[in-house]
Structure 1
Amino acid sequence: MIYFDFAATTPLDSDAAEVFVQASTEFYGNASSLHDVGGQSQDLLENCREELANLLGINKKGLYFTSGGSEGNFLAIEALLSAPKKAGKHIIAGMAEHSSIHGVLNRLDGYSITYLPFNSSGLIDVEELGRAITPETVLVTVQHVNSEIGTIQPIGEIARICKEHDIHFHSDFVQSFGKIDFKKIAPLFSSFSFSGHKIYGPKGVGGVYVDSSISWRAFFPGGSHERGFRPGTVNVPAIASMTAAAQKIHDQLVQSHDQFLELRAILVKSLDPIKEFVHIFEAAADSQLPSIIGLRISGIEGQWMMLECNRYGFAISTGSACQIGMQAPAKVTQALGLSPQVAKEFIRISFGKTTQTEDVVKLGETIVEIVNNYKR
């Protein structure tokens, strides 16, 4: 099986796996324990916190470790709403946000929420966001990179607008972490979340940055771990492994970006024989993550295409795995204003560090063959 679903998850890097095993066997103490064994784990934990903070360009005092992106989004939003910059009950969110964002917003009582769609390039219109702001607006949450079509939102402009209006700004960095160097923009946010398993780290671990100047209240009362941010014994081995993976992928940012640009061009070229049926949802190159290609093939349901590709030995997807589990169309198709029938045609192809040129060519040729057979 040739894997083209790296936006969903990645295999564990071999070096990160070695770090996980070593930390599990040699630094097994509870980081909150006061004896020397616990102290060794605590030292490793804080070293990881400092290293990740340096990679991200943030104050380590605002970095908290979680079980992943979904929990991170939940806790970050709850933290910001516990300490708003002003009184109000209005929130602005992207329509195509990850299901974990929609989940936490749907459970809030007493808040009104404005959802912003995408324009034809898969981007939020900053002017429309400005018009949506009211005196009651206390939070804006916009995903940095869309997980289904890979568009990079204009978060620098959004952050500036939020600052001008005393509004907290949260961003889901799960798809951009390890793929974009956001050291310069990270301090612009009130909070952001990230995850380990998208960067060849282990599953079940991630992190949240909350501006250390914010006096948030813990959602789970009485917790002592992570300075009260979340309960539960801290998963030091997974954090160490994620940190190793983050260091490694950060050193390869430019090289990986150039490689994915080339692979994207090769795949698009290979689809030329059926180009009249193919519609790729993308932005201009400077606003597009090249490793994610969201597209539809006119007249063919995405799930059928995914299953046919699987039969031929290729793993692609029909969007976010979390959304697929809910048996609902990809959120991005709603944000783009696609009809329910057209939305069913959506598929996603995503590259990773092990993706080979010849495999991309084979995938393109296979999709062409499947489409031609179907159309006949």
Structure 2
Amino acid sequence: MYLDYAATTPMSEQALEAYIKASRNFYGNTMSPHDFGTEAHQLLEATRLELARCLNAHSSGIYFTSGGSESSLLAITSLARAHHYKGKHLITTKIEHPSIDSAIQLLESEGFTCTYLPVNKDGRIDLGDLQNAIREDTILVSIGHVNNEIGVIQPIEEIGQLLAEHHILFHTDAVQSFGKRPIDVKKAKITSLSISSHKIYGPKGVGACYIDPSIHWQPFLSHVSHEHGFRQGTINTPGIAAFITAAMDIVKYMDIEYKRMEELKHSFVREVRRRALPVVIEGCDTGESPHHLPSILPLRVLGLEGQLVMLECNRRGLALSTGAACKAGQSLPSKTMRALGRSENEALEFIRISLGVKTTSSEVFKAVDILESIILAHSH
């Protein structure tokens, strides 16, 4: 059983078909001036338009990348460096994805400073804390829409409104939210946004970055021709075609799938409670929270290290994770758990179940069976 969809998803049949078709028929380099290149370029621009429609964005602000991590790195550094003359103060949270941390740390090595906002016991930021952190030299804020470990949803429209009033750039990591929650970059006053193909049943190694076309940015590397100078490297046309095919599908069925995920999550929580298992559902212990993505179930099996539970689940045929796949294999306490106020030992108990389009109710009950068997096996 695969219950690790927040780490990556299998490619959909439609995305696979689009990949093969584009590989066969649109293999020209999009930068080449001959007909083969022109046809590939036309396909690329059509996909750009489609993604822009999904975000209510202008297509000239869409840049295709190798994934969410690259999108975040390029957006944050390109914007911060372009506006450094206004100030060098950044704001983010203590629960961002490692790729955001890396981008901020790079800028800190260049003389920028950063304020790391705390979160409440559910993982949400306090808008008052954000307001208080803003300084005269604050130029950019990066706050993820949905956290990759606990699924908490941040109020990006309220954040965007507040930052717009102060003329501060707003980047949001939407890798976990795109296709699962509505995103309107104009309504939320988002300056830049990062998304990834392999989280929405598209191929790996493809993603996109949106930057408001009215905002100036400085290229990460100079003398780069691809994607209007945003990044280097020949465009992955078939990968992008498959990515946008998957994006159109997931956005189309977003509301229906969200409700189904809520039902599956509630089934899981009810069953854990019925059996009185020593399991904590982080951030939403009752299973009823409008501020958490229902497809992400952050858990702690009391008294058992998450790494052990993950390996025991794997032995029993259940794939789940201990958090961000980018940090897999490192038996370190989850920084998100620590930010929620958990002790180091509690943070080490963390595991994450994440549901997807192929997840059934029977799989959810089977997952509870497996957790119960592990708890019983280690109870003496």
- 2:160–2:188 Cα contact (<8 Å) kept: no
CA RMSD of aligned residues (A): 1.5
Can you give the 5+ residue segments of structure 1 that lack an aligned partner in the other structure?
A: none
Is residue 333–residue 345 contact of structure 2 (8 Å, CA) maintained in 1? no
Q: Which shifted more, 147-156 or 36-45?
A: 147-156
CA contact (8 A) 1:29 1:38 kept: yes
Give the conservation status (yes or no) of the 8 Å contact 2:82–2:216: yes
Once the two structures are overlaid, the 10-residue window that deviates more, 112-121 or 279-288, is 279-288
Q: Does the aligned pair in 1 maintain the 2:156–2:188 contact within 8 Å?
A: no
Alpha-carbon distance change, 199 to 148 in structure 1, aligned in 2, over 3 angstroms: same
Alignment of 1:156-305 (within 5 A): 156-183=157-184, 188-273=189-274, 275=276, 277-283=278-284, 285-305=289-309
Displacement after TM superposition at 1:166 (Å)? 1.5
**Aligned mate of 1:354, from 354, 358, 364:** 358
Report matched runs for 1:1-376 at 5 Å: 2-84=1-83, 87-108=86-107, 109-183=110-184, 188-273=189-274, 275=276, 277-283=278-284, 285-376=289-380
Q: What CA deviation, in whole Å up to 9, does each residue of 1:16-74 have, x standing for no partner?
A: 10110110111000000000000000000000000110111100011000000000000
Quote how far apart the aligned CAs of 1:4 are: 0.4
Q: Which deviations, in whole Å up to 9, do the C-alpha atoms of 1:104-135 show, x marking residues without a partner?
A: 11122211111112201111111111111111
**How many angstroms does 1:269 deviate by?**
1.6
Shift, 1:205, TM fit: 0.3
| Alpha-carbon distance in 2 for matches of 1:286, 1:12 | 29
**Partners of 1:155 and 1:4 in 2: CA distance:** 27
Q: How many residues align?
A: 375
Contact 1:67–1:204 (CA under 8 A) maintained in structure 2 = yes
The residue type equivalent to 1:3 in the other structure is Y
- Relative to structure 1, is the Cα distance of residues 275 and 88 closer, same or farther in structure 2, using a 3 angstrom cutoff? farther
State the Cα distance separating 1:83 from its structure 2 match: 2.7
Letter in 2 for 1:288: H
Distance 2:186 2:268 in 1: 31
- Give the drift of 1:273: 5.0
Amino acid at match of 2:333: P
Query: 1:88–1:325: structure 2 CA closer, same or farther, 3 Å change rule?
Result: farther
- CA apart distance, 1:96: 0.8
Asked if structure 2 preserves the Cα contact closer than 8 Å seen for 1:156 and 1:185, the reply is no
Judge which range, 53-62 or 362-371, deviates more.
362-371
**Deviation for aligned residue 1:85:** 8.4
Q: Which runs of 5+ in 2 are unaligned?
A: none
Contact 2:19 2:238 in 1 (8 A): yes
**Counterpart Cα distance in 2 of 1:60 and 1:270:** 46
Residue pair 2:298, 2:353 contacting (<8 A) in 1 also: yes
Structure-1-length-normalised TM-score? 0.96
Distance 2:268 2:277 in 1: 15
Q: Is the 2:160–2:190 contact (alpha carbons within 8 Å) kept by the matching residues of 1? A: yes
**What one-letter code is carried by the residue in structure 1 that aligns with 2:205?**
G
Is this contact kept in 2: 1:143–1:172, CA < 8 A?
A: yes
SS in 2 for 1:158: helix
Over the matched positions of the two proteins, sequence identity in percent amounts to 45
Question: Take 2:269 and 2:59, find their aligned partners in 1: how far apart are those partners?
Answer: 42
Shift of 1:372: 2.3
Deviations 1:318-340 (A, max 9, x none): 00101225553323112212211
- Output the amino acid matched with 2:211: V
Question: Could you tell me whether the CA contact under 8 Å between 1:320 and 1:330 is conserved in 2?
Answer: no
Contact conserved, 1:85 with 1:168, CA < 8 A, in 2?
Answer: no
